[in-house]
Amino acid sequence: MNTRTRANVLPITENDAFIANALESASIPTLMMAMIHITGDSSLLRGKVRPAKATMGDTHGQIDSQDQAEIRKQALEILTAYRDGDGHLPPMPSRETILAMMRFFVGEEVPDSYVPMMLEEMDLECEDTRGFKRNSEGSSPQERGFHVLVIGAGMSGLLTAIRLEQAGIRYTVVEKNSGIGGTWFENTYPGARVDIANHFYCYSFEPNSDWSEYFAQKDELRAYFENCAKKYGVLNNISFQTEVESAKWNERNSRWSVCLRTREGNEEDREFDAIVSAVGQLNRPNIPPIEGKELFTGPSFHSAEWEHHIDLRGKRVAVIGTGASALQLVPEVAKKTSQLYVFQRSPAWMFPNPDYHAKVSDGKKWLLAHVPFYARWYRFLLFWPGSDGLMPSLIIDPDWPHPERSVNALNEATRVSFTDYMESQLDKNQELLDKVVPDYPPFGKRMLQDNGSWLNTLCQENVDLVDSAAERITPEGVIGADGVERRVDVIIFATGFHAGKFLSPMKIIGRQGTDLRELWGDEPRAYLGITVPDFPNFFCLYGPATNLAHAGSIIFNSECQVRYIMSCLRSLEEGGHSAMDCRKAVHEAFAARLDEAFGRTVWAHPGVESWYKNSRGRVTTTSPWLLVDYWNWTRECNREDYEFIE
């Protein structure tokens, strides 16, 4: 029987030995929380076994093996009794008990201000607490014929489609690719996987107990999003291989006139009442203008445009770049090539994470699927240590005496521990260590995850780390700062994306003929990263200053943004308005707060170049906000922030 019971778990039918075996894979603090729910007895909170402060990568709260065994023994008794009983679960613990559980669970104070956000993120009762709720019985947008265009069918566009579908609002999704998944559709390079823990990198309302790895690979991620599209019935509303060329606000009827380029290559003019741009920040490949690039006689391609027909076996290959994509593809490429040169303009900081390539055991999958509340608390355990708690280590201390290498004492401690981690892998190879330890502060650029495979690969005989930018390309090779030509058969550009060119190449024209691209120039700004004055009913997902660089998952941010947009649509519906336009004063005040906040963060550090910054060194892509603040600001649109158009 596959029916899910309360708490959205499958019934337990397995024998004691099976359960005991599965418990060997349990995260002990998570198991303790489930035990309290199943028994209704919270005395564990007052027992001698207490998890230490939660840290990224540790799911056992440093509980020693003897105590772990004791908890497993108790859990076995509880789970077998639950299995043999009538499946009934006690009422939900009181709010006070849940709060005590949270604090016990992560071994530190969870401030009151975080409790509502964390309760919602955990969604203990599996009620999809972020789902769309209509306040009134007024005429629905469907009845009024209100029609929303969603641009993009990646993670955030799909999420929007799901919410619109649930709300009964008419929508059309256009997607430039031939399938769903955005990043996970486009990036097919070997080794591509998510580097945010997967049991948290999934929609809060669509958990998955079947992830085969803690950081799943591209095909599994793509399949997850495809399954969501099917399950929530949005597939029929998606037009694939269709791009928006331009959109123009029509003052006459308060609608957007949109020019689409269809699969057949034709232009098609359509009208919509609102537009949600879900085009992402990282999908327009950036190949830098390296001198001589066009002279190279062999194949060359970008990491996001992988040429699968090119066989790298036995070839000499250059990979240019050492960012997130390179870190994943280099170990895979090195397995095939006779010689691999990796051109590193600047090294990357990385979190040690032994689970980065690890498989999820069958026992753990079973626990996630069968033990009431286990999966919900596990999500919290992944969320919390990589959350706002990191922010203090990223704020520049103006009195810190070593500003070139770290931004404050906490940041320095991170530097020391990450450096120790690298040193421990290099067996006194000082030459390589000098090359791979960054000279800028940790977190200054996108942090990467590592299980040792990066340095292990760099130590291979057929791999050479060239400690400089690729400065010139010749017909037969690549030249770095040392002037030496490395002769290669293939060049792979792992050189990132045009992240700062938001919404490019679409042309978006708002009120009074304002061109969004001209307005933004090199410095895009949007209120909450979502709305821009003079662009009524135009909403951005993953817009300016919404990339998460300190913590969280971009799915969390998208869920906040989509909820906000849905509340905007509800405001239109309830007020009988046709459009809403962000007030300029609101937008400007937000932009000023943004600038002030950025100036204090490690991302603005003058010694760091990254895709977070524009050509003048100002941060434009990344969010400086605490997750809890952003969550609060986006819970509901404040109608006073907008001018409504009848």
Q: Compute φ and ψ for 517, nearest 5 degrees.
A: -65, -40
- Contact pattern from residue 141 through residue 170 relative to ligand NAP, giving x for each residue in contact according to CB under 6 A and a dash for the rest: ------------------------------
8 A C-beta contact, residue 494 and residue 470: no
Distances (CA, A) of 545 to 47, 560, 595, 611, 619: 45, 14, 10, 12, 8
Listed ranges 272-280, 489-497, 518-526, 631-639: which one lies at the site for ligand NAP (CB under 6 A): 489-497
Between residues 24 and 609, which has the closer beta carbon with respect to ligand NAP? Answer: 609
CB-neighbour burial class of residue 483 (10 A; exposed 0-12, middle 13-18, buried 19+): exposed
Residues 6+ apart with CB under 8 A from 452: 352, 425
Q: Which of 37, 60, 315, 345 binds ligand NAP (CB under 6 A)?
A: 345
Between residues 167 and 329, which has the closer beta carbon with respect to ligand NAP? Answer: 329
Minimum gap (Å) between residue 277 Cβ and ligand NAP: 19
Minimum gap (Å) between residue 320 Cβ and ligand NAP: 5
Report the greatest alpha carbon distance in the chain: 75
Residues 6+ apart with CB under 8 A from 40: 90, 91, 93
Between residues 322 and 620, which has the closer beta carbon with respect to ligand NAP? Answer: 322
326 interacts with ligand NAP by CB under 6 A = yes
500 interacts with ligand NAP by CB under 6 A = no
User: Which SS3 state, helix, strand or coil, does residue 109 take?
Assistant: coil
CB-neighbour burial class of residue 265 (10 A; exposed 0-12, middle 13-18, buried 19+): exposed
Listed ranges 79-87, 206-214, 315-323, 357-365: which one lies at the site for ligand NAP (CB under 6 A): 315-323
Minimum gap (Å) between residue 471 Cβ and ligand NAP: 7
Distance CA 358, CA 346 (A): 28
Between residues 8 and 495, which has the closer beta carbon with respect to ligand NAP? Answer: 495
Compute how many residues bind ligand NAP; rule: CB under 6 A. Answer: 27
DSSP classification of residue 295: G
Sheet holding 507-509, edge to edge: 267-272, 255-261, 243-250, 507-509
Listed ranges 112-120, 165-173, 249-257, 341-349: which one lies at the site for ligand NAP (CB under 6 A): 341-349
Q: Which of 37, 170, 176, 193 binds ligand NAP (CB under 6 A)?
A: 193
Minimum gap (Å) between residue 260 Cβ and ligand NAP: 27
Q: What would you report as the CA-atom Rg of the chain, rounded to the nearest whole angstrom? A: 26
Interactions with ligand NAP, residue window 588-627 (CB under 6 A):
609, 611
Distance CA 467, CA 448 (A): 19
Listed ranges 107-115, 141-149, 317-325, 585-593: which one lies at the site for ligand NAP (CB under 6 A): 317-325
8 A C-beta contact, residue 7 and residue 89: yes
Q: Which of 30, 156, 242, 346 binds ligand NAP (CB under 6 A)?
A: 346
Between residues 284 and 639, which has the closer beta carbon with respect to ligand NAP? Answer: 284
Minimum gap (Å) between residue 305 Cβ and ligand NAP: 12
Distance CA 506, CA 247 (A): 8
Minimum gap (Å) between residue 496 Cβ and ligand NAP: 2
Minimum gap (Å) between residue 284 Cβ and ligand NAP: 11
Q: Residue 280: in which H helix or E strand, if any? A: none
324 interacts with ligand NAP by CB under 6 A = yes
Both tokens assigned to 478: 């690549």
Minimum gap (Å) between residue 446 Cβ and ligand NAP: 3
Q: Which of 156, 209, 277, 325 binds ligand NAP (CB under 6 A)?
A: 325
Interactions with ligand NAP, residue window 422-481 (CB under 6 A):
446, 469-470
Listed ranges 47-55, 190-198, 252-260, 355-363: which one lies at the site for ligand NAP (CB under 6 A): 190-198
Q: Which of 57, 191, 280, 321 binds ligand NAP (CB under 6 A)?
A: 321
Distances (CA, A) of 369 to 2, 35, 620: 11, 15, 40
Between residues 300 and 495, which has the closer beta carbon with respect to ligand NAP? Answer: 495
Distance CA 525, CA 528 (A): 9
Listed ranges 30-38, 229-237, 343-351, 564-572: which one lies at the site for ligand NAP (CB under 6 A): 343-351
Between residues 159 and 499, which has the closer beta carbon with respect to ligand NAP? Answer: 499
CB under 8 A, 24+ apart: contacts of 283-289: 283/182, 283/183, 283/186, 283/497, 284/497, 284/498, 284/501, 284/504, 284/505, 285/493, 285/495, 285/497, 285/498, 286/495, 286/496, 286/497, 286/498, 287/493, 287/495, 288/493, 288/495
Between residues 61 and 496, which has the closer beta carbon with respect to ligand NAP? Answer: 496
Question: CA nearest 603: which of 550, 565, 551?
Answer: 550
Q: Residue 580: in which H helix or E strand, if any? A: strand 579-582
Q: Which of 288, 354, 599, 617 binds ligand NAP (CB under 6 A)?
A: 288
Minimum gap (Å) between residue 601 Cβ and ligand NAP: 16
Q: Is 164 left (phi over 0), alpha (psi -120 to 50) or beta?
A: alpha
Between residues 163 and 345, which has the closer beta carbon with respect to ligand NAP? Answer: 345
Minimum gap (Å) between residue 123 Cβ and ligand NAP: 24
Question: What DSSP string describes 536-571?
Answer: TTEEESS-TT-B-SSSS-HHHHHHHHHHHHHHHHHH
8 A C-beta contact, residue 500 and residue 620: yes
Q: Which of 159, 174, 320, 334 binds ligand NAP (CB under 6 A)?
A: 320
Within 13 A of 56's CA, how many CA atoms are on the CB side?
24
8 A C-beta contact, residue 114 and residue 106: no
Minimum gap (Å) between residue 252 Cβ and ligand NAP: 41
Minimum gap (Å) between residue 138 Cβ and ligand NAP: 41
Within 13 A of 413's CA, how many CA atoms are on the CB side?
6
194 interacts with ligand NAP by CB under 6 A = yes
Between residues 328 and 337, which has the closer beta carbon with respect to ligand NAP? Answer: 328
Question: CA nearest 490: which of 186, 189, 177, 187?
Answer: 189
Interactions with ligand NAP, residue window 265-284 (CB under 6 A):
282
357 interacts with ligand NAP by CB under 6 A = no
Binding site for ligand NAP (CB under 6 A): 193-195, 282, 288, 290, 303, 320-326, 328, 343, 345-346, 446, 469-470, 494-497, 609, 611
